[in-house]
């Protein structure tokens, strides 16, 4: 299983538009084969800072996500909303292993 924390910094004037586009992407992403979780988190102290928590059952499923129509539409829609480039950091779940399939 692969988990990616995608750190996103959004210009303040685009926060609502970013959320709309990202929620739309979320709704389709959770339907993908291999998707286990897709959460949208907003920093409590900085409303322009977001983390997308993406969990997939394999590297292949995570890679396939980046070829979907909804992801490509999201990437294009939010490109100019970024205050700086987004950063995706991959992680492995170590524990608890008995709760991998929420």
Distance CA 48, CA 80 (A): 14
Q: Where are the domains of the chain?
A: 2-95
CA 91 to chain centre: 13
Residue 99's pLDDT is what?
Answer: 56
Distance between start and end Cα atoms, the chain: 12
CA angle in degrees (0–180, nearest 5) for 50-51-52: 120
Q: Would you write out the chain's pLDDT as a tens digit for each of its 102 residues?
A: 889 999 999 999 999 999 999 999 999 999 999 999 999 999 999 999 999 999 999 999 999 999 999 999 999 999 999 999 999 999 987 776 655 554
CATH 3.90.650.10 is the classification of domain 2-95: no
pTM for the predicted model, two decimal places = 0.89
């Amino acid at each position: 299983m692969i988990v990616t924390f995608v750190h996103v910094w959004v210009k303040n004037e685009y926060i609502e538009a970013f959320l709309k586009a990202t929620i739309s992407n979320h709704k389709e992403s959770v339907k993908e084969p291999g998707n286990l979780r897709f959460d949208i988190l907003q920093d409590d102290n900085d409303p322009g800072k977001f983390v997308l928590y993406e969990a997939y059952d394999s590297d292949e499923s995570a890679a396939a996500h980046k070829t979907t129509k909804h992801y490509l539409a999201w990437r294009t829609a939010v490109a100019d909303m970024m205050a700086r480039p987004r950063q995706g950091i991959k992680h492995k779940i170590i524990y608890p292993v008995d709760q991998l399939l929420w």
